[in-house]
């Protein structure tokens, strides 16, 4: 039982349920007479459904081909929005007065289950999954007239709004893995060593923090940057040549990398997907607003590294 | 010609930077850059496809939030956003910047005690943005102000999440640091690592206060109370 509530394998149940949702979105798209991009959107949802339901059992090369197909499909703009059972402003205002805080129940159940699972030491993602299913059932109590079709149509509407940005995060993770195998990290590290006069303490710290940030900006992932930049700059130069405290400098290097995460569209799940979720016009507005804070905190890192690690 | 795989990085960076101008979708730049890097790095097409497939499948957790969308979406059709705005409109002192900043502090706190949730999906979209928008009441605002409030809400989640997460002694980032450093001959305890993360968490909280106070100024113009 404990294993069931902590293991990532349990998530397969939720992946299969998501896959079924997506197949239903494809069906609703097929029925949708006013859809802008019917065929491309159906292909997108069906293939994504296959990856969710059968992903664990598919040979990696087959999954790879399917991922490439949906990337091309979505990347060439073949997916689009349709017509949904939308509600009017007047209706929502009327329902708000009737339902009041009951409207908050689903979100509280979902977040609450995730937090509860985390506190107990189970996998919070499993809590999120169960919370979502409970929330779906609870909907029946205060909106009994809505059919499952209406509920899933609401899901389709939000998912269509996210569109291509939906698959970008796992797609970027795949890119990171490819860059890693191709040896991109080592090349960048050797360039940074050649550029900065690292026998000087300031430039050594600067090169480490800069390397973390720039590599994170390119890869969209500070974790990938850490191993490469620490083995090429952090350990030989900052720790061995200048005598920095390993624990302190390593942790600060990681958050210096996070400053880069705030600046890059490559970190799509933090900077691009939220914009899509919020239906923002400008996809880069979040990065723009984060930039000043990111740069200030990065500069502060140089100072904190100098004070704390030596 | 050891540096050849870097051309793939160049394609991705140029594609993302110039993409919106020439209408090239990021997915296409990433696909192209990945293949170029892989091929120049000596991988076969089959190997590249296998890496893409394996990596995508094991990273489905990144889009697990699809499971909660229908349940939330239907409440949005029945006035979830309107209710949030209604609740927050009762707080007279609320402003977009104050709401975003308080959320940053809450996010710092929960991530520091090890609770990692998809804050952008679970909080920002359904709760924080409607509250921040609602704090300005029902008055019409420009599209630019609307975008600004959305960006401020989303940024608060990232600030809080990023700079406080390593305070938690079992954070994924710390486990990674410990593992990498061990491979290179340095045995570090998680407690010492988590202690080193505290100053930046505090600095981010202090900077956030000033940052959001400054961002808030644009919403005060033209207000006569």
Residue B156, φ and ψ in degrees, nearest 5: -60, -40
Q: Which residues of A touch B173 (CB under 8 A)?
A: 222-223, 254
CB contact at 8 A, A169 and A273: yes
Q: Counting Cβ atoms within 10 Å, is residue A308 exposed (0-12), middle (13-18) or buried (19+)?
A: middle
What whole-number distance in Å separates Cα of residue B137 and Cα of residue B13? 41
Q: Which residues of A touch B59 (CB under 8 A)?
A: 169-170, 173-174
pTM for the model: 0.77
What whole-number distance in Å separates Cα of residue A284 and Cα of residue A264? 9
What whole-number distance in Å separates Cα of residue B36 and Cα of residue B121? 34
Q: Which residues of B touch A216 (CB under 8 A)?
A: none
Q: Which residues of B touch A230 (CB under 8 A)?
A: 180-181, 184
Name every residue whose Cβ is closer than 8 Å to that of residue A230 and which is 6 or more positions away in sequence: A250, A253, B180, B181, B184
The residue written with tokens 């994170």 in the block is: A216
Does B149 score more than 70 pLDDT?
Answer: yes
Q: What is the pLDDT of residue A288?
A: 95
Share the mean pLDDT of chain A.
89
Tokens for B197, please give them.
């993360």
Q: What is the pLDDT of residue B224?
A: 41
| pLDDT classification of B20: cutoffs 50, 70, 90 | low
Does B225 score more than 50 pLDDT?
Answer: no
Chain length of chain A: 310
Candidates B9, B16, B24, B52, partner chain A, best to mutate (most A CBs within 10 A): B52
Q: How many helices (H) and strands (E) does chain A have?
A: 16, 0
How many other CB atoms are there within 10 angstroms of residue A270's CB atom? 26
The residue written with tokens 């691009």 in the block is: A272
Percentage of the residues of chain A whose pLDDT score is greater than 90: 47
Does A186 score more than 80 pLDDT?
Answer: no
Provide mean pLDDT across the span A227-241.
85
Higher-confidence residue: B153 or A6?
Answer: B153
Per the CB < 8 Å rule, is A18 touching B162? no
- Mark out the alpha helices in A220-284 (DSSP H runs): 222-229, 246-261, 268-271, 273-277
Nearest partner of B33 among B56, B62, B13, judged by Cα: B13
Which letter does DSSP use for residue A78 in this model?
-
Interface of B with A in 88-107 (CB under 8 A): none
Q: Each residue of A161-183: b (16+ CB within 10 Å) or e?
A: bbbbbbbbbbbbbbbbbbbbbbb
Provide mean pLDDT across the span B127-156.
89
Summarize pLDDT for A131-172 with one digit per residue, the tens: 999 999 998 888 878 888 889 999 998 888 888 888 887 887
Name every residue whose Cβ is closer than 8 Å to that of residue B209 and which is 6 or more positions away in sequence: B101
CB contact at 8 A, B111 and B160: yes
Which letter does DSSP use for residue A284 in this model?
T
Could you tell me which chain B residue has the CA closest to the CA of A120?
B115
Q: Which helix (H) or strand (E) is B143 found in, with range?
A: helix B143-164
């Amino acid at each position: 039982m404990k294993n069931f509530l902590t293991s990532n394998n349990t998530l397969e149940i939720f992946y299969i349920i998501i896959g079924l949702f997506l197949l239903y979105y494809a069906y609703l798209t097929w029925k949708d007479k006013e859809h802008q991009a019917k065929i491309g959107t159906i292909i997108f949802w069906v293939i994504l459904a296959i990856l969710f339901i059968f992903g664990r059992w598919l040979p990696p090369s087959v999954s790879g081909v399917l991922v490439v197909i949906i990337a091309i499909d979505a990347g060439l703009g073949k997916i689009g929005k349709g017509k949904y059972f939308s509600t009017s402003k007047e209706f929502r205002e009327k329902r708000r007065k009737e339902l009041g805080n009951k409207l908050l129940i689903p979100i509280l159940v979902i977040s609450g289950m995730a937090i509860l699972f985390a506190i107990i030491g189970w996998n919070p993602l499993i809590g999120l999954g169960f919370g979502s299913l409970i929330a779906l059932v609870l909907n029946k109590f205060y909106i009994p007239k809505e059919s499952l079709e209406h509920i899933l149509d609401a899901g389709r509407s939000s998912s269509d709004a996210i569109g291509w940005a939906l698959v970008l995060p796992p797609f970027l993770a795949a890119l990171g893995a490819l860059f890693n195998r191709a040896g991109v990290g080592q090349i960048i590290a050797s360039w940074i060593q050649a550029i900065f006069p690292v026998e000087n303490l300031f430039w050594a710290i600067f090169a480490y923090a800069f390397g973390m940030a720039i590599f994170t900006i390119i890869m969209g992932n500070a974790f990938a940057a850490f191993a490469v930049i620490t083995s090429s700059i952090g350990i030989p130069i900052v720790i061995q040549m200048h005598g920095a405290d390993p624990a302190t400098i390593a942790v600060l290097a990681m958050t210096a990398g996070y400053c880069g995460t705030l600046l890059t569209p490559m970190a799509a799940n933090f900077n691009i997907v939220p914009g899509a979720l919020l239906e923002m016009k400008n996809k880069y507005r979040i990065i723009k607003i984060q930039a000043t804070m990111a740069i200030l905190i990065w500069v502060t890192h140089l100072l904190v590294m100098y004070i704390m690690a030596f | 010609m050891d540096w050849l795989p870097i051309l793939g990085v160049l394609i991705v960076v140029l594609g993302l930077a110039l993409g919106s101008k020439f209408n090239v979708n990021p997915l296409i730049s990433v696909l192209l850059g990945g293949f170029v890097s892989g091929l120049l790095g000596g991988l076969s097409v089959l190997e590249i496809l296998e890496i893409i497939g394996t990596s995508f499948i094991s990273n489905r957790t990144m889009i697990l939030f699809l499971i909660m969308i229908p349940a939330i979406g239907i409440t949005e059709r029945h006035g979830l956003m309107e209710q949030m705005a209604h609740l927050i409109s009762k707080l007279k002192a609320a402003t977009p910047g104050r709401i975003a900043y308080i959320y940053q502090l809450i996010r710092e706190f929960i991530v520091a005690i090890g609770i990692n949730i998809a804050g952008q999906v679970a909080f920002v979209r359904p709760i924080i943005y409607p509250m921040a928008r609602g704090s300005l009441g029902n008055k019409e605002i420009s599209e630019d102000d609307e975008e600004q409030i959305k960006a401020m809400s989303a940024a608060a989640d990232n600030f809080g999440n990023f700079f406080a997460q390593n305070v938690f002694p079992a954070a994924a980032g710390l486990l990674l640091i410990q593992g990498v450093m061990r491979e290179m001959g340095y045995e570090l305890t998680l407690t010492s690592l988590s202690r080193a993360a505290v100053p930046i968490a505090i600095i981010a909280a202090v900077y956030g206060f000033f940052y959001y106070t400054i961002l808030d100024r644009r919403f005060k113009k033209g207000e006569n109370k």
